[in-house]
Structure 1
Amino acid sequence: MTSSDITLYGHLQEWAAAEPQRTALLDPVPASIEQTGLEHGHVRVTVTDLLTRADQFAALLAAHEVGDGDCVAVWLPSWADTYAWQFAASARGAHVIGVNTRYNVAEVGHVLTKARPRALVMAHGFRGLDFLSTATQAVAEAQAEAPVDSQQPFVPPVAFVWPVPGASDDPVATDYDLGSGAVTVPAETSPEAAAPPPAAPSADRLSVAFTTSGSTGMPKLAAHRESAVVSHSQHVAARVGYAPGDVLVEPLPYSGVFGYSAGMGALFGGAAVLLHPVFDEHELVSAWNAFGGTHFVGADDMLSRVRRVCEDTGTRLDSWKWAGVADFQGMSADIAHWAAESFGTRTVGVYGSSEVFALTAFWPTDTREELRYSGGGRLVDPAYDYRIVDPLSNEPVPSGSEGEVQLRGANVVDHYLGDTGEGAKNFAGNGWFSTGDLGRAQGPEAFEYVCRMGDVIRLRGFLVDPAEIEFHLITHDDVELVKVVARTDESGAPEVVAFVQPVPGSAPDPTEIRQYCKQRLASFKVPTEVRLVETMPVTAGTNGSKIKAAVLREWAAQPMEATEVLASRTSKENHHDT
């Protein structure tokens, strides 16, 4: 039996047998809990602890007849138990769909309707969020919308209620009964709870599903086979180069593909994962420093806040060796230079999605600098393939030309949960998956991510990536954040509008900023208009905060006075969300 033939649960068993005291996770404990044996407010979860907890959860699933081929929806923040549910599902031959804690009725209902989970693991007492009311309403709407004559009527999932550490009260199981029963998950591990015999490995068995971005509607649920999860995690571990004693600092939620792929790669590489369920840069930097974090995977906006704390407090992260960064706000290069000069950190851009796994590609640390911090990179597994094609003809483009990135391999989505045929349009034949990303080849094993196909702006016959203009604008001394969008002029031709969030305390002149662009950019790339905004409209997504380009496009189509009113309202909303 090869390593890829072993289930996730089987690998956990092997880790516990080989190194029973190896640290797997560093689990935060709220300050309100008095507990002995804590290290800087965290408890070390060994692979043996994780296996014992997974066995306990597998026994709970078995008691409620959740098993082979069933779906388990896990609606939890990123604590150690969230990982344990994945391994427990593996032990039962089931698969997991992660549900982000920010989801509300529409998103939760969509997941329940599409995935049809047999079990829903819910958090109780997390940040005052009323998961029960949301789930109750989502189930009611799903039942009401289900076709009467359906051969597969909607059946509510069994609710497994998990009290988060530090919850102010204990959950009452009967309160959480959504129609198929409910059980309270014990807060403490019971070592004597014997797990049922584990499921045999299967090449076709699903393991995990992730929600896609849903930028053009409700998200699809992209599911992957267990053998692919194992193989991908092993290749990520090898390419990152984890060593015993390394610590991955992971502020991203395990329910999302980046947090999941990064965390599983670290475990397969023998590293520990420092969990951080609620992003707070001060707490994160403190824990990072205390545990000697060596690796980081996350978004550039998160690291910008980490940098601010380090500079304000004088905290040094000298253990930090490597960072894989998603460039959501155009700050990766600047952050990479700071980290390298301050701590000797090597930073690379990364690439991935719910449908092809996160960290499917990232750049080697010796890549030339103009590429190293951008999205894309070298494919993590030599068995993965890519090609760049003309999106209209689906034919490969000449070397050096831009086109749509297509991928083929075990990393590509195997199934969309609840799919009624809509998933087929993402495939171009012969196994090629159309990513919807604009890219450029950089050799046989690597490509450069340019932008989403829908973000490309055609200016005077040229296809222009907005980031090209943004990268120039961000070098202006008074510009803290910038986002470039397109609108049409009176003749119907596209033109560029740049939204600029100034450096605090500065008052740049929009005319001067346009002149700054004229000094270096081709005339057709110079923004027709520069608009100053106090705060960018952002959405706090699974993988970090992203600027809402769609909102800015709406603003760009309106007079400046309307933008000022909307931007002021957005500033208040952003402040409320944080």
Structure 2
Amino acid sequence: MKPVVDTGREAAHTASGHEGGATFHAWLARRLADSPDAVFLHEPQRAWTYREVAGEAERLAAVLAERGAARGDRMALWLPNGLAWLVGFLACARLGMIAVALNTRFRSQEVGDVVARSGARWLACWPDYRGIGFRDILREVPAGLLDGLRGVIAYGEPMPSDREIAGVPVTPFDQAPDAACAPATGRAADGAIVYTTSGTTAAPKLVLHDQDTLLRHGAAVAAALDVRAGDAVLLAAPLCGAFGFSTALAALGGGARLVTSASLDPAELAMLVARTGVTHTFANNELIARVLDAAEAAQHDLSSLRYVGFASFAPGMDAFFDRAERLGVPLAGLYGSSELQALVAAQPLDAPRETRARAGGRLVAPDARVRVRDPQTGALLALGEAGELEIRAPSAMRGYLGNAEATAQALDDEGWFRTGDLGHASDERTFVFLARRGDALRLNGFLVHPAEIEQQIAALPGVAAAQAVGVEYEGRTVVVAFVVAREGEAPPDEAAMIAQCARHLARYKTPRRIALLDAFPVVQSANSNKVQRHRLQEMARALLQQ
């Protein structure tokens, strides 16, 4: 059984039975010994060698150590894909620190909440990235949530006034250490990364993975999907999520080059595929479709691609496979989660198109197993029968940071993870994903609980309650919300409520429309009145058609 995880520093690196396992520092040292001048990372404007990346990571680790960073501390990475994110992560791993992955689309409430609950003492950001205004976002974080921060590591050109941001001292990302030093080295069982995920609560849970588990997963994916030295893997998903980071792990595991762009612009990604000879990429179907469109328009050569794995985050893309086949791009469905890592299962390319179009596939780790349980009776089901998927894999999380109860509910004593997904198995390593249990929303590739959006609207004067649902609109899932007014009061108008969400939440979580109802449609039972979310979805579709 994996250890229960709490927020204490010691619990963050408690031994989990593989202290002799792999560390990122040792992995990088081997790459430096074998091929120091080989390319580690391709960005649109330049390439970085192992020697250059390792030097940057060592320098930043020394700067953090001088400022008091130690094993088990946490640094939030609020950065787009690219050199800074990877160097920040490797510097944390060098010291045995935990990198807390923050989505660059997060805004004040989201950033403050994750920084506070993760216990982050440092935050790395790019204040001038794409003119987003990260300084202003930090200044708007609710009082008290940044009190634990000791410093901000600022990437890019600093402003003359950047001695502090939101009252926190600023250190330039390229700062040199005051003196040469050899920081302490992290261990295999040290916590390495925290993802944010939403499940059954409004506040995202914090999923912790250790160094050895991450590296073993990368090696398993590389072996299963034939990622090897000389290949190039396109990071088309953000590194802040399990999808993007697992893609990076696959490249590291196979000794392949990483290729990415901070903006993740489809046209730029298509150009990088052709220019760098990308062999593998893993992303959501909507982004891959846009990359294919851009490549076709610019007549880019995509013949280097050997495996393109996708997750079906966007509905209504029936022509997706037709377009890919016309361009000679090999597609296969994937399966994963923050708790198990993305790419924990994948469809084989030699399977029929109907099979490759499905999420699921074969578990990449040879010792991983899947089983199916009846959600109502709790009985294990036979092969082919549909129920809740349970997976036992070496890539499973250490646990939810600061939430021992949720960890115990998700992982049993034998290491089986209760996925919350419905599907059926064809053998002990192969399965098909059918649907997600519950009502969580899949927005822009991220799993979001409606309560996170509803709380922002319900906090406004005159609002008694709010409900948010996801519906298909112009080829993607968008949010539509409904409110019930307090008796005798009038809530703000629709534009004001949408502006409230846009100020505090990522754009993809912001409702497209918000409508006022006299009451929510409910179904009565002996114990409760349950809101009929399918009725709200019908109303939402009608609202969007107006």
TM-score by length of 1: 0.72
SS in 1 for 2:438: helix
- Matching residue of 2:305: 320
Corresponding residue to 1:159 among 149, 152, 165: 152
- Matching residue of 1:99: 102
Indicate if the aligned counterparts of 1:56 and 1:194 stay in contact, CA closer than 8 A.
no
Indicate if the aligned counterparts of 2:207 and 2:338 stay in contact, CA closer than 8 A.
yes
Deviations 1:418-452 (A, max 9, x none): 32633332234432211110011021211111110
Q: Aligned-pair distance for 1:279? A: 2.7
Indicate if the aligned counterparts of 2:231 and 2:257 stay in contact, CA closer than 8 A.
yes
Q: Aligned-pair distance for 1:15? A: 0.2
Indicate if the aligned counterparts of 1:555 and 1:563 stay in contact, CA closer than 8 A.
no
- Matching residue of 1:335: 320
Structure-2 change in CA distance of 1:557 and 1:101 (3 Å): closer
CA distance in structure 2 between the aligned counterparts of 1:247 and 1:556, rounded to whole angstroms: 47
Deviations 1:386-421 (A, max 9, x none): 211012333211221101011223322212223263
Q: Aligned-pair distance for 1:182? A: 2.6
Q: Aligned-pair distance for 1:227? A: 0.9
Indicate if the aligned counterparts of 1:4 and 1:230 stay in contact, CA closer than 8 A.
no
Q: Aligned-pair distance for 1:499? A: 6.0
- Matching residue of 2:23: 7
Q: Tell me the amino acid that sits aligned with residue 376 of structure 1.
A: G
Structure-2 change in CA distance of 1:172 and 1:236 (3 Å): farther
CA distance in structure 2 between the aligned counterparts of 1:383 and 1:292, rounded to whole angstroms: 32
Corresponding residue to 2:251 among 248, 266, 269: 266
Q: Aligned-pair distance for 1:87? A: 1.1
Corresponding residue to 1:309 among 294, 302, 327: 294
Structure-2 change in CA distance of 1:550 and 1:23 (3 Å): farther
- Matching residue of 1:437: 421
Corresponding residue to 1:175 among 158, 161, 164: 164
Q: Superposition pairs for residues 75-474 of structure 1, below 5 Å?
A: 75-138=78-141, 140-142=143-145, 155-163=148-156, 170=159, 172-176=161-165, 178-179=167-168, 181-186=169-174, 194=180, 196-203=182-189, 205-214=190-199, 216-330=201-315, 334-343=319-328, 345-419=329-403, 421-454=405-438
Q: Aligned-pair distance for 1:302? A: 0.7
Indicate if the aligned counterparts of 1:257 and 1:354 stay in contact, CA closer than 8 A.
yes
Please provide the CA RMSD for this pair.
Answer: 3.4
CA distance in structure 1 between the aligned counterparts of 2:181 and 2:334, rounded to whole angstroms: 38
Deviations 1:102-134 (A, max 9, x none): 001121111112101121112110111222232
CA distance in structure 1 between the aligned counterparts of 2:278 and 2:90, rounded to whole angstroms: 25
CA distance in structure 2 between the aligned counterparts of 1:177 and 1:417, rounded to whole angstroms: 26
Q: Tell me the amino acid that sits aligned with residue 23 of structure 1.
A: V
Q: Aligned-pair distance for 1:385? A: 2.1
Structure-2 change in CA distance of 1:319 and 1:558 (3 Å): closer
SS in 1 for 2:427: coil
Indicate if the aligned counterparts of 1:251 and 1:277 stay in contact, CA closer than 8 A.
no
CA distance in structure 2 between the aligned counterparts of 1:370 and 1:16, rounded to whole angstroms: 43
Indicate if the aligned counterparts of 2:222 and 2:228 stay in contact, CA closer than 8 A.
no
Deviations 1:57-99 (A, max 9, x none): 1011101111111111111111112111111111101111110
Q: Tell me the amino acid that sits aligned with residue 165 of structure 2.
A: Y
SS in 2 for 1:267: helix
Matched, 1:24 2:27: no
Q: Aligned-pair distance for 1:27? A: 2.1
Q: Tell me the amino acid that sits aligned with residue 174 of structure 1.
A: R
SS in 2 for 1:124: coil
Q: Aligned-pair distance for 1:366? A: 1.7
CA distance in structure 1 between the aligned counterparts of 2:512 and 2:140, rounded to whole angstroms: 31
Indicate if the aligned counterparts of 1:211 and 1:220 stay in contact, CA closer than 8 A.
yes
CA distance in structure 2 between the aligned counterparts of 1:364 and 1:3, rounded to whole angstroms: 34
CA distance in structure 1 between the aligned counterparts of 2:82 and 2:109, rounded to whole angstroms: 25
Deviations 1:202-261 (A, max 9, x none): 43x211111113564121010011110110011111112123322112221111111001
Q: Tell me the amino acid that sits aligned with residue 176 of structure 1.
A: I
Q: Which moved more, 1:113-122 or 1:238-247?
A: 238-247
Structure-2 change in CA distance of 1:290 and 1:72 (3 Å): same
Indicate if the aligned counterparts of 1:95 and 1:208 stay in contact, CA closer than 8 A.
yes
SS in 1 for 2:81: coil
Q: Tell me the amino acid that sits aligned with residue 348 of structure 1.
A: A
- Matching residue of 1:524: none
Indicate if the aligned counterparts of 1:156 and 1:178 stay in contact, CA closer than 8 A.
no
CA distance in structure 1 between the aligned counterparts of 2:400 and 2:127, rounded to whole angstroms: 29
Indicate if the aligned counterparts of 2:62 and 2:177 stay in contact, CA closer than 8 A.
no
Unaligned runs of 5+ in 2: 1-17, 441-469, 476-501, 516-531
Q: Tell me the amino acid that sits aligned with residue 21 of structure 1.
A: D
Indicate if the aligned counterparts of 2:63 and 2:177 stay in contact, CA closer than 8 A.
no
Q: Aligned-pair distance for 1:23? A: 0.8
Indicate if the aligned counterparts of 1:173 and 1:184 stay in contact, CA closer than 8 A.
no
Structure-2 change in CA distance of 1:195 and 1:300 (3 Å): farther
Structure-2 change in CA distance of 1:119 and 1:171 (3 Å): farther
- Matching residue of 1:48: 51
Q: Tell me the amino acid that sits aligned with residue 324 of structure 2.
A: A
CA distance in structure 2 between the aligned counterparts of 1:498 and 1:133, rounded to whole angstroms: 32
Higher relative contact order (CA 8 A, sep 6+): 2
TM-score by length of 2: 0.76
| Equivalences, count | 457
CA distance in structure 2 between the aligned counterparts of 1:65 and 1:436, rounded to whole angstroms: 40
Q: Aligned-pair distance for 1:380? A: 0.9
Corresponding residue to 1:74 among 77, 90, 106: 77
Percent of aligned positions that are identical: 28
Q: Aligned-pair distance for 1:547? A: 12
Unaligned runs of 5+ in 1: 29-41, 144-153, 457-496, 503-538, 569-578
Structure-2 change in CA distance of 1:4 and 1:397 (3 Å): same
Q: Tell me the amino acid that sits aligned with residue 175 of structure 1.
A: E
SS in 2 for 1:127: helix
SS in 1 for 2:327: helix
